[in-house]
Amino acid sequence: MGSFGVIKSIRAPNVRFGARHFQSLRLMRLSRYFMPIARETPKEAEIVSHRLMLRTGMIRQEAAGIYAWLPLGLRVLTKISAIVREEQNRAGAIEVLMPTIQSADLWRESGRYEDYGKEMLRIKDRHDREMLYGPTNEEMITEIFRAYVRSYKDLPLNLYHIQWKFRDEVRPRFGVMRSREFLMKDAYSFDLDAAGSRRSYNKMFVAYLRTFARLGLTAIPMVADTGPIGGDLSHEFIILASTGESEVYCHKDFLSFAPPPADIAFDDADAMQAVVNKWTSLYAATSEKHDAAAFGALDPALQVSARGIEVGHIFYFGTKYSLPMKAVVNGPDGKEHAVHMGSYGIGPSRLAAALIEAGHDEAGIIWPDAVAPFAVGLANLKVGDSATDGACARIYSALGKAGVDVLYDDRDERPGAKFATMDLIGLPNQVIVGPKSLGEGKVEIKNRRSGARELISVEDAIVRFGGAA
């Protein structure tokens, strides 16, 4: 009872000072959270990321290829999106938000309403007008652009949004890895000519390298088919994972390339080109573009043949939309020019699954620090014991004040259940507070990825994870 009061005293100030919203993003007591963990593996899940996302209560399937994101999953999705957003902004792209529902007329302008086929979900509104749930937004962004931009002086321009899309896949599968509804970041660049568009393309190329590196992933750009959108310059960014969906081939040196630094000059076209040149200088191809002879010419020790997951795709497609949709600007020559465009996609919802494919073991998920739903899992092995309750309260409060995301397992559960839960949900760091070690003034900290454990004092643990002693 007394210990319960200690815990409550942490929450009380949050409410009193109106900081509950902020605090609740940082701190969560498991006994008050909504994290429906399943002990058994759901039968429909085939691949490991899907299984773990269902088991940890990150997502719930509502229909084939359509998922609700539950709190734990939403935290990951939000963190992924935040990193994507930061790197888009850094590269000079500007955020907008376009609707999910679009008018069929817009798509008739580009000719794609007829071409797109059954993957497009077509809807009629109450006035019998033809609408659709957007599978992508080239038409709409072109419409927005042409409504306002008249001069080459307003170029280059790159607008992006992060929005839900729908593609009525014949056979959705692998959970959010290949769902019908999915969250997508799409950037669209506008330039006066092909050379300008190439510069915009390069910036996104560099931004993507940074984005995936920050997510803890090694993503390799590979020459790609241009697909239904068309165009002649395109790269897929592929991460290597043993459970990947397709076969990929690349030069081993890619695995040790350093990503571009945060302070790289995005306005320096030469610097951008140099990065792109470096990352396209070695062999890398998906199975569709694979050249067995060229690959075979490499030193066998440098040949990497692996499974890969596509997590990003960038295209240059020139005037494919600007011509039919009349997105033109006046150039310095006084004449009208159809703008050259490119589009650049990253799927945060797919990335959540891809990150699990790339980071898990028998016990569960292993999140990279950057997107872990919480940075620290705090396990009280004996709830109700005044010593462990007090130590946990101290750690919980100190880390919360320091802005560290902490999930506090204050449930009245067996230690074994708490260890299993912590390992399953994959928080990078665990602080284990039990009567045994606390008797010597210590708590155990465990690194989820390495499995390394250490016995240190409560104050040292606080400092270790970013709090002030």
Partner RNA sequence: CGGGGUAUAGCGCAGCCCGGUAGCGCGGAAGUUUUGGGUACUUCAGGUCGCAGGUUCGAAUCCUGCUGCCCCGACCA
Main-chain phi, psi angles of 125, to 5 degrees: -90, -175
Of residues 179, 200, 211, 429, which one binds RNA by CB under 7 A?
179
* Angle of the 48-55 helix axis to the 348-358 helix axis, nearest 10: 100
Contact flag: residue 347 with RNA (CB under 7 A): yes
Of residues 419, 456, 459, 460, which one binds RNA by CB under 7 A?
419
- Cα separation, 55 vs 37, whole angstroms: 5
Of residues 46, 253, 268, 454, which one binds RNA by CB under 7 A?
46
Contact flag: residue 446 with RNA (CB under 7 A): yes
Of residues 99, 435, 441, 466, which one binds RNA by CB under 7 A?
435
Q: How far is CA 444 from CA 70, 300, 376, 432, in A?
A: 30, 45, 13, 5
Of 248-256, 270-278, 341-349, 392-400, which part binds RNA (CB under 7 A)?
A: 341-349
Q: How far is the CB of 37 from RNA (least distance, A)?
A: 6
Q: How many CB atoms are located within 10 Å of the residue 49 CB?
A: 27
Nearer to RNA by C-beta: 89 or 246?
246
Q: Which residues contact 151 (CB under 8 A, 6 or more apart)?
A: 329, 330
Of residues 21, 126, 127, 171, which one binds RNA by CB under 7 A?
171
Of residues 129, 153, 326, 436, which one binds RNA by CB under 7 A?
436
Q: Which residues contact 333 (CB under 8 A, 6 or more apart)?
A: none
Binding track over 139-158 against RNA, x by CB under 7 A: --------------------
Contact flag: residue 18 with RNA (CB under 7 A): no
Nearer to RNA by C-beta: 110 or 421?
421
Of residues 87, 310, 357, 410, which one binds RNA by CB under 7 A?
310
Contact flag: residue 180 with RNA (CB under 7 A): yes
3-state helix, strand, coil in the chain (%, to 5): 40, 30, 35
Main-chain phi, psi angles of 459, to 5 degrees: -65, -40
Of residues 382, 394, 426, 461, which one binds RNA by CB under 7 A?
382
Q: Are 405 and 425 contacting, i.e. CB atoms less than 8 angstroms apart?
A: no
Q: Are 211 and 321 contacting, i.e. CB atoms less than 8 angstroms apart?
A: no
Contact flag: residue 118 with RNA (CB under 7 A): yes
Contact flag: residue 363 with RNA (CB under 7 A): yes
Contact flag: residue 389 with RNA (CB under 7 A): no
Alpha helices in 149-268 (DSSP H): 194-214
Of residues 86, 109, 245, 247, which one binds RNA by CB under 7 A?
245
Amino acid making up residue 141: I
Which 8-state DSSP code applies to residue 332?
T
Of residues 444, 458, 461, 462, which one binds RNA by CB under 7 A?
444
Q: Are 461 and 443 contacting, i.e. CB atoms less than 8 angstroms apart?
A: yes
Contact flag: residue 420 with RNA (CB under 7 A): yes
Of residues 5, 99, 228, 466, which one binds RNA by CB under 7 A?
228
Nearer to RNA by C-beta: 112 or 146?
112
Q: How far is the CB of 213 from RNA (least distance, A)?
A: 19
* Angle of the 194-214 helix axis to the 71-90 helix axis, nearest 10: 140
Q: How far is the CB of 248 from RNA (least distance, A)?
A: 13
* Short-list 96, 137, 162, CA closest to 351: 162
Contact flag: residue 421 with RNA (CB under 7 A): yes
Of residues 130, 169, 193, 247, which one binds RNA by CB under 7 A?
169
Report the DSSP pairing between strands 376-380 and 406-409: parallel
Contact flag: residue 230 with RNA (CB under 7 A): no
Concatenated DSSP letters of 186-219? EEEEEESSHHHHHHHHHHHHHHHHHHHHHTT--E
Report the DSSP pairing between strands 376-380 and 429-433: parallel
Contact flag: residue 414 with RNA (CB under 7 A): yes
Q: How far is the CB of 434 from RNA (least distance, A)?
A: 3
Both tokens of residue 359? 């980071």
Number of chain positions touching RNA (CB under 7 A): 64
Contact flag: residue 308 with RNA (CB under 7 A): no
Cis link prior to 156 (omega < 30° from 0)? yes
Q: How far is the CB of 420 from RNA (least distance, A)?
A: 3
Positions touching RNA (CB under 7 A) are 37-44, 46, 61, 63-65, 118, 167, 169-174, 177-180, 182, 184, 227-228, 236, 245-246, 310-311, 313, 345, 347, 349-350, 363, 381-382, 413-417, 419-424, 432-438, 443-444, 446, 453
